[in-house]
Amino acid sequence: MRILLRVIPRARRNAVEAVSDGTYKVHVTAPPVDGEANESVIKALSAHFGVPKSKINILSGATGRDKVVEIQGVEQPSGSSEAAAASEAKDNSSSSSSSSSSSSSSSSSSSSSSGKSGKQGKRK
C-alpha cells in the first residue's frame, strides 16, 4: 500500500492521523535533522499499522515534509480516496521521479529559507 503523508516535526507528541482527503498527518517529536524525523515517522507508522519497521519505505520526499511511503503487508481498502491518492502518487513518481524529487527538494529548501531557517541556524 502506498500512502501520501505530511510530517509535522518537533510536535508535542508522536501521532498518526488520517485526513479526509485520504492522506495522513504524522506528528513526530524529533527534529528534521540527520534523518531523525524520518526514523520517527517510520516508527510511528509501524505502530499505527501494526507492521514491522522493515516493511516501511519512504519512496519520495525524504528531505521534505510531504512524503510518499510504501507499507508492505497492509491491504488498501478498495474504492477509497486513499487508494486514488496513492495511485496518483505512483503515476506521478514513476513518470518523472527525478523531477518530482528535485522539485520537492527545492520546495523544501525554499520553504526552509523563510524565517524559520534563520532561527534553526542560530540553534546550531
Whether the Cβ atoms of residue 10 and residue 33 lie closer than 8 Å to each other: no
Percent of the chain residues past pLDDT 90, beyond the cut: 57
Query: For the residues 16-40, what does the mean pLDDT come to?
Result: 95
Following DSSP, what letter does each residue of 52-103 receive, concatenated? -GGGEEEEE-TTSSEEEEEETT-PPPTT-HHHHHHHHHHHHHHHSHHHHHHH
Residue 10 has pLDDT above 80, yes or no: yes
2, 68 Cβ separation under 8 angstroms: yes
Compute φ and ψ for 110, nearest 5 degrees. -70, -35
Q: Does the pLDDT of residue 104 top 80, yes or no?
A: no
Integer distance in angstroms from the first to the last C-alpha of the chain? 38
Res 122 pLDDT > 50: yes
Question: What is the value of pTM for the model shown?
Answer: 0.62
* Mean pLDDT lowest among 13-27, 35-49, 64-78: 64-78
Q: In whole angstroms, give the CA distance from residue 7 to residue 94.
A: 22
